[in-house]
């Protein structure tokens, strides 16, 4: 491979994605009245906070050689590119999320979007893992995939449990 991302670059993107997920789950739980869904979104928001903290800790403890860009990048273009990837993710930035209420009317809509976000996270991290240099760096990226797969599992189970009544519930989005 001619070019690969450093683990530091990948974990920085992961931190941005976790921030975006936290923002979505925080807003979504305020828009839902069903206690079970509120608890799920509250729990997922807590997980996003924990993931972000864990990723920040891993990044801070990471050996410098794994943080360094693998190519010369004096203008920090790789960092900007990775941040752009994170913001183009399903949840995207806070600004992108401001338009979500118009698109999400039912609890089912919110669950589907959350599930899509988590699946896209897995795909995103797997893609970055492929573009990350061999060795310990790739092993660290694999941790991200495992974390997101747990969210996919939980959201999939909730989708199966939703009754027709819950699916018809209207969301009441708080102001951004």
- Note whether residue 49 is domain-resident: yes
**Tokens 């608890």 found at:** 39
Question: How many folded domains does the chain comprise?
Answer: 1
Cβ-Cβ contacts under 8 Å for 42 (sequence gap 6 or more): 25, 29
Tell me the pTM: 0.74
Q: Quick one: average pLDDT of 27-50?
A: 89
d(CA 73, CA 79): 9
- Note whether residue 133 is domain-resident: yes
pLDDT digits (tens, 9 = 90+) for 144-168: 788 889 999 999 888 887 754 554 4
d(CA 123, CA 128): 9
Token pair recorded at residue 172: 């009441």
- Note whether residue 161 is domain-resident: yes
CATH assignment of the domain containing 74:
1.20.1260.10
- Note whether residue 50 is domain-resident: yes
- Note whether residue 23 is domain-resident: yes
Token pair recorded at residue 80: 């900007």
Whether 9 has a pLDDT exceeding 70, the answer reads yes
Q: What range defines the domain where residue 159 resides?
A: 7-168
Distance of CA 121 to the CA centre of its chain: 5
**Tokens 């990775």 found at:** 82
- Note whether residue 55 is domain-resident: yes
């Amino acid at each position: 491979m001619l070019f690969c991302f450093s683990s530091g670059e990948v974990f920085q993107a992961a931190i941005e994605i976790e921030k975006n997920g936290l923002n979505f789950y925080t807003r979504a739980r305020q828009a839902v009245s069903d206690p079970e869904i509120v608890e799920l979104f509250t729990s997922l928001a807590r997980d996003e906070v924990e993931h972000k903290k864990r990723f920040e800790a891993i990044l801070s403890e990471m050996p410098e050689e794994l943080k360094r860009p693998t190519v010369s990048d004096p203008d920090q273009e790789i960092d900007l590119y990775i941040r752009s990837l994170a913001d183009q993710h399903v949840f995207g930035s806070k600004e992108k999320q401001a338009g979500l209420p118009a698109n999400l009317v039912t609890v089912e809509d919110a669950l589907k979007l959350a599930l899509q976000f988590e699946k896209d996270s897995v795909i995103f991290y797997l893609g970055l893992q492929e573009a990350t240099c061999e060795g310990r760096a790739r092993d660290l990226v694999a941790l991200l995939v495992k974390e997101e797969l747990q969210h996919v599992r939980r959201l999939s189970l909730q989708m199966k449990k939703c009754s027709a009544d819950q699916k018809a519930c209207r969301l009441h989005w708080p102001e951004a």
